[in-house]
Structure 1
Amino acid sequence: MEKELEQTRRRSAEEITRLVGIMARLRAPGGCPWDREQTFDSLKPYLVEEAYEVLDAMEGDSSRDHCEELGDLLFQVIFHAEIARENGDWDFADVTRAISDKIEYRHPHVFGDVTITDADEVSRNWVKLKAAEKARKKGQRVSVIEGVPRHAPGLLRAERITEKASRIGFDWPELAGVRAKVDEELAELDEALASGDPKAIEHELGDVLFALANLARHARTPAEDALRLAVGRFERRFLWVEERLHEQGFGAGQVAPLELMDRLWEEAKALEKQGELG
């Protein structure tokens, strides 16, 4: 086992060195014109896109695709590090050292002399260490809900913020309370819809989505994943319905009778349950 681990370390070091060299060559005079003109701002959409492509690969059937997409995401990290190196700020070694230092600090039960009995205690200790770390950096006390990226998808952000708040007991003790909150928010949304006030509708709809994200957390079913899978189901069924409509003579964009589309939709659902849809 130790020999295999050592081989993995050596291969990883060699390949990382190779990738850092490739990136430097692409950015150097005489390198790739496209790579040379990129900036932190221009790379933002690619960083997000590559992260989502990793998620797509994880839900696919190919382990190799998962590996390759992680490589694309790593390339984005190397790209950012090379731009920072050129600016005289930091480089990839600083990135790896920073995360290594952070992980060792937050795992004193592995790299230090702290004794911890179970995963729950690890989580509680992690929160304390992270809070102390952030307080040192900012020179002041920080909120327990800090650290959730503002650019994260809304459902994911709602789930992470409620999870962080729960670490100091700000949470329902049982799932039933969370489920009842969803009903409460739905009733308020109904009132807003009846009023026709766009601002009130936006407000109450947001509360419903927030409550559902919290319910997803309690049910241990990530809301973002559940929604993505639901969108995927809709897409497969709709494409099947669209194809059937085309076979019946309806052109692209032509509106078909709702009764027909409902019937086809139910057929698509039935086929999906039988594993015969896409």
Structure 2
Amino acid sequence: MNDAGLDRLVGIVRALRAPDGCPWDRAQTLASLRHHLLEEAYEVADVMADDAMLHCEELGDLLFQIVLQSQLREERGEFRIAQVVAGISDKLERRHPHVFGDEPNGDVDRVNLRWEELKRAEGKGGPGSVPRAFPALMRAAKVTSKASRVGFDWPSVEGPLAKIDEETAELRAELAAPDPDAARRRARVAAELGDLLFAVVNVARHLGVHPEEALDGATDRFLARYGHVESALGASGRAFDEVDAAELDALWEAAKAHLGGAPAPEPRDG
């Protein structure tokens, strides 16, 4: 993209926000744009493996959100889109001294380690720097990854696997404990369930699997098998509530056998 292309988009956004511009764009605030930004980011993620031009279109929608939010900040006299571009350019050069400086190059692990060192030097690299707004699984994966990079981790996957057994036992104990205060019991159960999920995230990280992708895969497999069972029941003129648990289990196993296992998600750095 050349400067003229970006300048054209900035000019369009300024026109949309002008007094005689678009009522919808003029009505937007940073708060109202938050969910639009998240929607556009998820739409980009959803098409990354699809047609390249569809991916291009969705990236454009995301870029519009960045320019629009920058325009709102400019109207407040806070910063302009040029500062956004300059800021990320400076950051990339600063955090790649092996490319733009005189440090020796290295492998991916070394580069990731150096990246985290530079972020910590800027006061931004610790586990507490992970945004609270992240989806819960993503946030847990990022927090544990950052903790691991400073040495706070189990030496192998056996540690978090054992933690799963421990947290499962604690959850079972909590479920068995009587408590007349329903809200208090629910809070304790939720805490134990959260600890169990956190342990699962740690197992995924040790195995090089992103938990979001693993869970997405499991959800896709569930939907495919559910659809197969639903079709089988429909062919016999029955609904789910007209079949006992044993037959549903048999139909589920038949669906698994028919559809086979889905490939595991590709490993991704957490």
Q: Structure 1 length as normaliser, TM-score?
A: 0.83
Shift of residue 143, structure 1, vs aligned partner: 7.1
Q: Percent identity?
A: 48
The residue type equivalent to 1:28 in the other structure is A
The residue type equivalent to 1:171 in the other structure is D
Q: SS at 2:141's partner residue?
A: helix
Structure-1 separation of matches of 2:212 and 2:136? 9
Contact 2:73–2:80, Cα closer than 8 Å, also in 1: yes
Shift of residue 247, structure 1, vs aligned partner: 4.2
Q: SS at 1:146's partner residue?
A: helix
Distance 1:31 1:272, change over 3 A: farther
The answer as to 2:70 corresponding to 1:88 is no
The residue type equivalent to 2:144 in the other structure is T
Give structure 2 stretches of 5+ with no counterpart: 179-184, 263-270
Give structure 1 stretches of 5+ with no counterpart: 1-10, 135-141
Which residues in structure 2 correspond to 1:1-278 (within 5 Å)? 11-58=1-48, 60-134=49-123, 144-195=126-177, 197-250=185-238, 255-257=241-243, 258-273=245-260
How many pairs align? Answer: 255
Distance 1:100 1:274, change over 3 A: closer
Q: SS at 1:234's partner residue?
A: helix
Contact 2:37–2:65, Cα closer than 8 Å, also in 1: yes
Distance 1:66 1:264, change over 3 A: farther
Q: C-alpha deviations, 1:218-263, integer Å up to 9, x for none?
A: 1110001111221222223323433443444347xx7231344334
Distance 1:16 1:248, change over 3 A: farther
Q: Structure 2 length as normaliser, TM-score?
A: 0.85
Structure-1 separation of matches of 2:57 and 2:258? 32
Distance 1:274 1:191, change over 3 A: closer
RMSD: 2.2
Distance 1:256 1:191, change over 3 A: same
